[in-house]
Amino acid sequence: MTSNRSKILITGADGFIGSHLTEMLAKTGADIRALSCYNSFNDWGWLETIDGLNQIEVVSGDVRDPHFCHKITEEIDIVFHLAALIAIPYSYQAPQSYVDTNILGTLNICQAALDNGCQRVIHTSTSEVYGTAQYVPIDEKHPLQPQSPYSASKIGADAMAMSFHNSFELPLTIARPFNTYGPRQSARAVIPTIISQIAAGKKTIQLGDVSPTRDFNYVEDTCRGFLALAESSATIGKTVNIGSNYEISVADTLDLIRELMHSKVEFVTDSQRLRPKDSEVQRLWCDNHLIAELTSFKPQISLREGLQKTIDWFTDPANLARYKTDIYNV
């Protein structure tokens, strides 16, 4: 992939990872079409805050509409498909919407990319499809376990995407990032929940289960992983993990945040934030050997460094003001 010569579509560009990927590509001078989910406020989400917005073509719409998907993939060389519903708690309440956006939306993007002759499609998966680890570290051959409606929808979306490679030779790669964190992440995720509430002066913070382990990755590393997959023809037709090959418990992560923020905040378990018993993913630890084998990708930012960068962003009053720290984000 030659960024400054290719026309690139990024779906979900208004979201957390999508906005960082858009910003990273914009700095290379890439020709970008960024999809923001349509709303009547003409609000482009996190795209509103990125550097280089004036050199990006922003379009508003919805991947659930196949005709719209066909239109936005015209004259596109590379598609980074990140548009999805991702909040696990909300998937318990509205599972149909996850099927419509994540599975049908992926079908629409893949069909449109095929019809318009796109040269590469990078489809975004999630480590949640693995469920609780049966063995560690988790490689791409690990069984898939739908432990939430969200993860089930992503398993379906991944299968739909890969079927277009197997059936129609669509040049597609499935990127499977593990737990990404950093500036702009929704407060529904544990790291921004803790940082934003400490920054807002809370003395106690309500949490769900803090015993599970995760493989946390700073958002810039995740984006570099996406670009590495797009730049390597060896990744076509493959599903590839993006992660650090480092496991840490949520509890230990919270203690590290508390240390970095010089806080004595108390953590309290809130039953509202607990997942159903068989839905909680207890252990995630990425085996990242395949991406290292197929590309030049290596994680560059340690957890301590990434958390400090995230803390610095959230403690900026202008950024913190965007978060409702008194409300539980589903």
Q: Which domains are delineated in the chain?
A: 7-180+216-242 (3.40.50.720), 182-214+247-284+302-320 (3.90.25.10)
Tens-digit pLDDT string for the chain (330 aa): 444 689 999 999 999 999 999 999 999 999 999 999 999 999 999 999 999 999 999 999 999 999 999 999 999 999 999 999 999 999 999 999 999 999 999 999 999 999 999 999 999 999 999 999 999 999 999 999 999 999 999 999 999 999 999 999 999 999 999 999 999 999 889 999 999 999 999 999 878 788 999 999 999 999 999 999 999 999 999 999 999 999 999 999 999 999 999 999 998 876 666 668 778 899 999 999 999 999 989 999 999 999 999 999 999 999 999 998 877 776
Closest CA to 129 of 91, 158, 161: 158
CA gap 32, 8 in Å, rounded: 5
Strands 248-249 and 213-214: antiparallel
CA gap 142, 21 in Å, rounded: 27
How many C-beta atoms lie closer than 10 Å to residue 68's C-beta? 18
Q: What are phi and psi of 91, to 5 degrees?
A: -70, -25
Q: H-type helices in 200-249, by residue range?
A: 219-231
Tokens of 105: 């939306």
How many C-beta atoms lie closer than 10 Å to residue 185's C-beta? 24
